[in-house]
Amino acid sequence: MRQKIIKSDSEWRNLLTPQQYHVTREKGTEPAFTGKYWDCHDPGVFLCVCCGLPLFDSTRKFDSGCGWPSFTAPQEASHVVESADLTHGMQRIEVLCSSCDAHLGHVFPDGPGPDGLRYCINSASLKLEKKQPV
């Protein structure tokens, strides 16, 4: 099991841009259709912007029309944690990085994959490690 990454508030602020900090550490959301990866089709692996843990593979990314990057499943189930989110008068399932507890987005039961899930993830919580051509 991976050791939890714990940093002080000031360490996170020094590591992240203001938007990345707001999304990942304050559970914020970027506006729809504005994030770096919502319309990205590059092959690669999406890492946690805070700690570098591999979270989602581009082969599981799809266009859901919601304005945020959407995936059918995480790269490894153990790399994300799901938690009940009852904020804003809604019942949702929050998705967090299992290594550093960064807020990534939410998962919904309306996806096209074999499990019918849509991981709706903020671009600001991700960093794409592009696959090199062979």
Per-residue DSSP letter, 124: G
Residue 120 bears catalytic tag: yes
- Contact predicate 71/62, CB 8 Å: yes
C-alpha distances out from residue 44 to 3, 55, 62, 85, 103, Å: 25, 11, 14, 29, 21
Structure tokens at 51: 């700690």
| Active site residues per annotation | 120
